[in-house]
Structure 1
Amino acid sequence: MSQAEPGIEGDAFNADCPGRTVLNHVTSRWGTLILVSLSEGPMRFSTLRDRIGGISEKMLAQNLRVLARDGFVERTVEPSTPPKVSYALTELGTEVTFYLHGLMGWIRSRVGDIVFAQRHHDAHT
């Protein structure tokens, strides 16, 4: 069930559209990798950090906050000592991640062609 804000439409080509900000969050390197990782199921911070090679704890924390604010990620704290915090996709997060899987699959299958094109370009410029 949609709980959309009345009167707001997503046209990321419009400079004033909030959709442009969301597009940036979802398609940033870390945003995409976090969302696709969480599609495997809920994860604790350290597991997510270890899953995404090269991300710092600071960048992971910042991106998780942004994605939670956008409604894509839910943070759950289990009362224990120390508290156990896990992250999971929301319904919105699951929906957008469906499309990100397609993009990631395409990149995986075509990266060789892209690297070839880059080397060809660099050799001729």
Structure 2
Amino acid sequence: MANEIFICHNCPMTRTMATIGTKWKPIIIYTIGRKPQRFGVIHAKMGIISRKILTEQLRELQEDGIIEREAFKELPPRVEYSLTEKGMELLPILNMLTDWNLKHHPNL
């Protein structure tokens, strides 16, 4: 049994899903897209996510090197999130998933 767990942790799909496989992370990545976004804009575009969960997910994506957080020394303080090069590589994959959904659920 221990060997099965070890193999699972070495599985590329398992590692991928651990990085971006939550309910919100792909949507956050897709929402940030190709231009920096402020926290409030991301929250407004996503709608129903709580500010607390959005903050947690942004931190995790930052820790995984998917997004960058830039704080500007202004009054009022301003923070922008953008995709790293690693994060930008996910956009075509997310677009393919969106295309797949539109193909199989065109009336939704």
For 2:9, the equivalent position in structure 1 comes to 16
Task: Tell me, yes or no, if the aligned pair for 2:43 and 2:51 is still in contact at 8 Å.
Answer: yes
User: Identity of paired residues, percent?
Assistant: 29
Gaps of 5+ in 2: 1-5
* TM-score, structure 1 as length reference: 0.71
Superposition CA RMSD, Å: 2.2
Task: Tell me, yes or no, if the aligned pair for 2:36 and 2:81 is still in contact at 8 Å.
Answer: yes
Instruction: Indicate whether 1:83 and 2:77 are aligned.
Output: yes
* TM-score, structure 2 as length reference: 0.82
For 1:6, the equivalent position in structure 2 comes to none
Aligned length: 102
* Higher RCO, Cα 8 Å, sep 6+: 2
Gaps of 5+ in 1: 1-12, 116-125
Higher Cα radius of gyration: 1
Q: Which of 35, 42, 47 is equivalent to 1:53?
A: 47
Q: Which of 27, 31, 35 is equivalent to 1:37?
A: 31
